[in-house]
């Protein structure tokens, strides 16, 4: 047997044959489940080596959460384009405002006095109620009411986890007064904390992205201190606590931000698909010896026939001189609509859950439930006590009452008066009451426009209807 190594290799001619598969790849689900750092918002963190300077504007201003506020803009887009998120934020804002402001007595006024007696006393003596109404009805030079300002504050709080106002001490109609202004978050940066880790000021600018090297276009406002005499202009910043964040807060719905993005990207995708999709429903091909002008005329006639107003067909039309030039196309059927419907529902549920809200309050039908008035009242009471009241209390204690307190220092008529927000009812209780139990015969007749009965006739009718009033 001859040695295999001694064999002379055969000569090959021509090109090397190409393999059947030119390239391939296998895409697997990654085994690594670590959280991506890019999915975690990060703000400036002081360090001895000043490695975080890239997070600062001019070396001392901390934006939300980067120099271009990309994260804030993303949350703004979610509120604007996610229908569920926008709806829930609007509901939270309205519930925070409730049925308006109610005065109550501060610690230097006898606590046992009722609201009614307080109103009576103030109206009769020092006209405090009128002074308060005048203050609340026009709180700044923009002619805004306090409710209009607090509405913006509440919106920022629920949507972005932060809210900022500016207090301005000035004169109006010859009287000293403190005005209140809402400060939009996208115009604000927070000044780097001092050596004692205390934030002393915020900066306000129309466009932070064009600021470079100089603070001349930045308006610095000191932070309000309730225990000291403050300068004429001060700012109050409230923020929702989140671990790892010092300068800025995060909204409680932050866990649903990807669901928010999905919810608004689905209809955006469908709009783009509707407008610009290139998946023809048919291919028409004509073969023959036509001139170019005749071919264009033929194509135009077919186009006018099948794609007029209200006709949704898409066609690819070709006029060819020879069949060998025909188009070989594979039309892929788009069956994703059902999947997107399911995904949209999941996204809405995720948004609602992250806001600690309920499906029925957000306007979604709940399987197996009729959505009765009682159910809505129960859910409304639940979210009011667990969600709304804590946020409202923060706004009241940190913004509303400091504003009233600073004005009371300048106006003795307001001393001893603070404000709270009255709760609201989503559904009137009147529908659950029996008119026979709460209204007299004459009261019911008055509702329907009938003349009142005399006392004897009313008594007789009550007896006939078995509605005899109880003896007092």
Residue count (the chain) = 472
Per-domain residue ranges for the chain? 41-254, 433-464
For the chain, the three-class secondary structure string (H helix, E strand, C coil) is: CCCHHHCCCCCCCCCCCCCCCCCCCCCCCCCCCCCCHHHCCCCCCCCCCCCCHHHEECCCEECCCCCCCHHHHHHHHHHHHCHHHHHHHHHHHHHHHCCCEEEEECCCCCCCCCHHHHHHHHHHCCCHHHHHHHHHHCCCCCCCCHHHHHHHHHHHHHHHCEEEEEEEEEEECCEEEEEEEECCHHHEEEECCCCCCCCCEEEECCCHHHCCCCCCCCEEEEECCCCCCCCCEEEEEEECCCCCCCCCCCCCCHHHHHHHHHHHHHHHHHHHHHHHCCCCCEEEEEECCCCHHHHHHHHHHHHHHHCCCCCCCCEEEEEECCHHHCCCCCCCCCCCHHHHHHHHHHHHHHHHHHCCCCCCCCCCCCCCCCCCHHHHHHHHHHHHHHHHHHHHHHHHHHHHHHHHHHHHHHCHHHCCEEEEECCCCCCCHHHHCCHHHHCCHHHHHHHCCCCCCCHHHHHHHHHHCCCCCCCC
Quick: pLDDT tens for 244-267. Answer: 899 999 999 999 999 999 998 888
- pLDDT score of 126: 47
Distance CA 60, CA 223 (A): 16
At 293 the pLDDT is 83
- Report pLDDT for 129: 76
Q: How far apart are CA 348 and CA 344, in angstroms?
A: 6
pTM of the model: 0.72
Are 225 and 231 within 8 A, CB to CB?
no
pLDDT at 378: 87
The pLDDT tens digits of the residues spanning 365-386 come to 665 554 567 788 889 999 999 9
C-alpha dist (Å) from residue 281 to 29, 237, 312, 357: 35, 57, 10, 44
Which ranges of the chain have pLDDT less than 50? Answer: 1-2, 22, 31, 33, 108-126, 310-311, 370, 469-472
65 prior amide bond cis, ω within 30: yes
Could you tell me which residues come within 8 angstroms of residue 88 by beta carbon, excluding any fewer than 6 positions away?
Answer: 253, 351, 352, 355, 357, 362
């Amino acid at each position: 047997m001859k040695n295999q190594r001694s064999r002379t290799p055969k000569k090959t001619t021509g090109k090397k044959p190409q393999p059947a598969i030119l390239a391939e790849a296998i895409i697997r689900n990654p085994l690594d489940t670590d959280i991506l750092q890019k999915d975690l918002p990060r703000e400036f963190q002081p360090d001895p080596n000043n490695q975080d300077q890239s997070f600062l504007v001019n070396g001392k201003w901390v934006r939300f959460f980067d120099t271009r506020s990309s994260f804030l803009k993303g949350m703004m887009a979610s509120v604007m384009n996610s229908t569920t998120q926008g709806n829930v934020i609007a509901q939270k804002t309205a519930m925070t405002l409730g049925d308006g402001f109610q005065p109550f007595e501060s610690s230097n006024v006898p606590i046992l006095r009722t609201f009614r007696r307080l109103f009576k006393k103030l109206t009769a003596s020092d006209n405090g109620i009128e002074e308060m109404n005048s203050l609340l009805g026009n709180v700044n030079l923009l002619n805004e009411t306090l409710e209009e300002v607090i509405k913006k504050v509440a919106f920022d709080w629920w949507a972005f986890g932060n809210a900022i106002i500016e207090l301005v001490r000035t004169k109006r109609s010859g009287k000293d007064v403190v005005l209140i202004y809402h400060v939009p978050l996208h115009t604000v940066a927070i000044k780097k904390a001092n050596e004692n880790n205390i934030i002393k000021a915020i900066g306000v600018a129309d466009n932070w992205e064009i600021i470079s090297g100089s603070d001349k276009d930045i308006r610095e406002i000191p932070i309000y201190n309730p225990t000291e005499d403050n300068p004429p202009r001060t700012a109050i910043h409230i923020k929702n606590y989140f671990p790892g964040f010092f300068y800025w807060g995060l909204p409680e719905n932050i866990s649903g931000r990807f669901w928010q993005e999905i919810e608004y990207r689905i209809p955006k995708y469908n709009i783009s698909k509707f407008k610009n999709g290139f998946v023809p429903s048919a291919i028409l091909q004509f073969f023959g010896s036509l001139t170019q002008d005749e071919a264009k005329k033929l194509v135009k006639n077919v186009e006018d026939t099948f794609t007029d107003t209200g006709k949704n067909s898409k066609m690819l039309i070709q006029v060819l001189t020879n069949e060998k030039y025909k188009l070989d196309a594979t039309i892929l059927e788009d069956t994703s609509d059902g999947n997107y419907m399911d995904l949209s529902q999941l996204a809405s549920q995720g948004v609602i859950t992250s806001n600690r809200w309920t499906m029925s309050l957000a306007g979604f039908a709940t399987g197996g439930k009729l959505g009765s008035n009682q159910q809505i009242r129960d859910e409304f009471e639940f979210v009011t006590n667990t969600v709304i009241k804590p946020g409202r209390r923060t706004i009241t204690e940190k913004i509303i009452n400091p504003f009233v307190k600073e004005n009371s220092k300048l106006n003795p008529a307001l001393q001893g008066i603070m404000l709270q927000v009255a709760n609201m009812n989503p559904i009137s209780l009147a529908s659950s009451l029996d008119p026979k139990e709460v209204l007299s015969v004459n009261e019911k007749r008055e509702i329907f426009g009938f003349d009142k009965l005399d006392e004897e006739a009313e008594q007789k009718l009550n007896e006939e209807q078995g509605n005899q009033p109880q003896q007092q």
